[in-house]
Amino acid sequence: MWFGGGAVREIGGVATTFVRHFSRERAVNVRKINPRVTPQEASSIAESLYNIIKQHGPLSVSNTWNQVKEASINGLNSKTHMKIMLKWMRGRNMLKLFCNRVGSTKKFLHCTLPEEPQTEQSKAALELQLQTEKPSMKRKKRIK
Protein backbone atom coordinates (compact mmCIF):
# COMPACT_ATOMS: atom_id res chain seq x y z
CA MET A 1 0.00 0.00 0.00
CA TRP A 2 1.31 3.40 -0.94
CA PHE A 3 -0.19 5.25 2.05
CA GLY A 4 0.90 2.70 4.64
CA GLY A 5 4.23 3.81 5.99
CA GLY A 6 5.41 7.16 4.67
CA ALA A 7 2.20 9.13 4.84
CA VAL A 8 1.48 8.17 8.45
CA ARG A 9 4.96 9.26 9.49
CA GLU A 10 4.53 12.62 7.74
CA ILE A 11 1.17 13.25 9.37
CA GLY A 12 2.63 12.29 12.75
CA GLY A 13 5.57 14.65 12.18
CA VAL A 14 3.27 17.52 11.31
CA ALA A 15 1.13 16.85 14.36
CA THR A 16 4.12 16.76 16.71
CA THR A 17 5.48 19.98 15.21
CA PHE A 18 2.06 21.60 15.59
CA VAL A 19 1.77 20.50 19.23
CA ARG A 20 5.33 21.57 20.01
CA HIS A 21 4.78 25.02 18.48
CA PHE A 22 1.57 25.80 20.36
CA SER A 23 2.72 24.37 23.69
CA ARG A 24 5.47 26.99 23.99
CA GLU A 25 5.00 29.92 26.28
CA ARG A 26 4.91 33.30 24.60
CA ALA A 27 7.69 35.80 25.22
CA VAL A 28 7.09 38.61 27.67
CA ASN A 29 6.08 41.88 26.06
CA VAL A 30 8.70 44.13 27.65
CA ARG A 31 7.02 47.29 26.38
CA LYS A 32 4.14 46.80 28.81
CA ILE A 33 6.23 46.26 31.95
CA ASN A 34 4.99 48.32 34.91
CA PRO A 35 8.00 49.78 36.78
CA ARG A 36 5.90 50.16 40.01
CA VAL A 37 7.05 53.76 40.54
CA THR A 38 6.13 57.15 39.13
CA PRO A 39 7.46 57.92 35.63
CA GLN A 40 9.84 60.59 36.96
CA GLU A 41 11.28 58.23 39.54
CA ALA A 42 11.51 55.43 36.97
CA SER A 43 13.50 57.63 34.62
CA SER A 44 15.93 58.66 37.39
CA ILE A 45 16.42 55.03 38.47
CA ALA A 46 16.87 53.99 34.83
CA GLU A 47 19.47 56.71 34.29
CA SER A 48 21.52 55.60 37.29
CA LEU A 49 21.26 51.91 36.27
CA TYR A 50 22.30 52.87 32.73
CA ASN A 51 25.36 54.71 34.08
CA ILE A 52 26.37 51.72 36.23
CA ILE A 53 26.11 49.30 33.31
CA LYS A 54 27.91 51.73 31.01
CA GLN A 55 30.81 52.19 33.47
CA HIS A 56 31.31 48.56 34.42
CA GLY A 57 30.62 46.93 31.06
CA PRO A 58 28.29 44.00 30.40
CA LEU A 59 26.96 42.81 33.75
CA SER A 60 24.88 39.87 34.90
CA VAL A 61 21.88 40.51 37.16
CA SER A 62 23.75 39.52 40.32
CA ASN A 63 26.76 41.69 39.46
CA THR A 64 24.44 44.58 38.66
CA TRP A 65 22.76 44.16 42.05
CA ASN A 66 26.17 44.26 43.78
CA GLN A 67 27.05 47.47 41.94
CA VAL A 68 23.65 48.99 42.81
CA LYS A 69 24.16 48.24 46.51
CA GLU A 70 27.56 49.95 46.40
CA ALA A 71 26.16 52.98 44.55
CA SER A 72 23.11 53.11 46.89
CA ILE A 73 20.54 54.11 44.26
CA ASN A 74 17.44 55.68 45.76
CA GLY A 75 14.12 54.17 44.71
CA LEU A 76 15.14 50.54 44.21
CA ASN A 77 13.46 48.44 46.87
CA SER A 78 14.85 44.98 46.12
CA LYS A 79 16.64 42.84 43.58
CA THR A 80 13.25 41.88 42.10
CA HIS A 81 12.42 45.55 41.61
CA MET A 82 15.80 46.05 39.90
CA LYS A 83 15.01 43.14 37.53
CA ILE A 84 11.67 44.77 36.66
CA MET A 85 13.45 48.04 35.98
CA LEU A 86 15.99 46.27 33.74
CA LYS A 87 13.13 44.70 31.74
CA TRP A 88 11.47 48.12 31.52
CA MET A 89 14.73 49.59 30.21
CA ARG A 90 15.04 46.79 27.61
CA GLY A 91 11.52 47.57 26.44
CA ARG A 92 12.53 51.18 25.88
CA ASN A 93 15.69 50.14 23.97
CA MET A 94 18.08 51.47 26.60
CA LEU A 95 19.69 48.09 27.28
CA LYS A 96 20.35 44.90 25.38
CA LEU A 97 20.37 41.39 26.83
CA PHE A 98 22.70 38.86 25.25
CA CYS A 99 23.71 35.32 26.04
CA ASN A 100 27.32 34.27 26.56
CA ARG A 101 27.81 30.50 26.36
CA VAL A 102 30.62 28.99 28.38
CA GLY A 103 30.69 25.26 27.80
CA SER A 104 27.33 23.82 28.76
CA THR A 105 26.32 26.88 30.82
CA LYS A 106 24.78 30.15 29.70
CA LYS A 107 25.38 33.58 31.13
CA PHE A 108 22.94 36.40 30.36
CA LEU A 109 24.48 39.85 30.38
CA HIS A 110 23.02 43.35 30.12
CA CYS A 111 24.88 45.96 28.12
CA THR A 112 24.19 49.43 26.79
CA LEU A 113 23.34 49.94 23.16
CA PRO A 114 26.18 51.36 21.08
CA GLU A 115 25.94 55.09 20.67
CA GLU A 116 26.87 56.81 17.45
CA PRO A 117 28.61 60.02 18.41
CA GLN A 118 28.78 62.61 15.67
CA THR A 119 32.21 64.13 15.50
CA GLU A 120 33.05 67.46 13.92
CA GLN A 121 34.57 65.67 10.92
CA SER A 122 31.38 63.74 10.20
CA LYS A 123 29.30 66.92 10.55
CA ALA A 124 31.62 68.77 8.15
CA ALA A 125 31.45 65.87 5.66
CA LEU A 126 27.65 65.88 5.87
CA GLU A 127 27.52 69.65 5.24
CA LEU A 128 29.91 69.31 2.29
CA GLN A 129 27.75 66.55 0.81
CA LEU A 130 24.64 68.68 1.19
CA GLN A 131 26.36 71.63 -0.50
CA THR A 132 27.43 69.56 -3.50
CA GLU A 133 23.93 68.12 -4.00
CA LYS A 134 22.29 71.52 -4.60
CA PRO A 135 20.65 71.71 -8.05
CA SER A 136 22.31 73.99 -10.53
CA MET A 137 20.39 77.01 -11.73
CA LYS A 138 21.76 76.94 -15.25
CA ARG A 139 19.39 76.09 -18.07
CA LYS A 140 20.40 73.93 -20.94
CA LYS A 141 20.26 75.52 -24.37
CA ARG A 142 18.02 73.90 -26.88
CA ILE A 143 19.59 72.76 -30.08
CA LYS A 144 17.40 73.38 -33.15
Euclidean distance between CA atoms 51 and 48, whole angstroms: 5
Cα separations in angstroms, 24 against 12, 19, 30: 19, 9, 18
> What predicted TM-score, i.e. pTM, was given to this entire model?
0.63
Average pLDDT over all residues of the chain: 81
- Tens of pLDDT, residues 49-103: 999 999 998 999 999 999 999 999 999 989 999 999 999 999 999 999 999 998 8
| Domains of the chain with CATH codes | 39-114 (1.10.10.10)
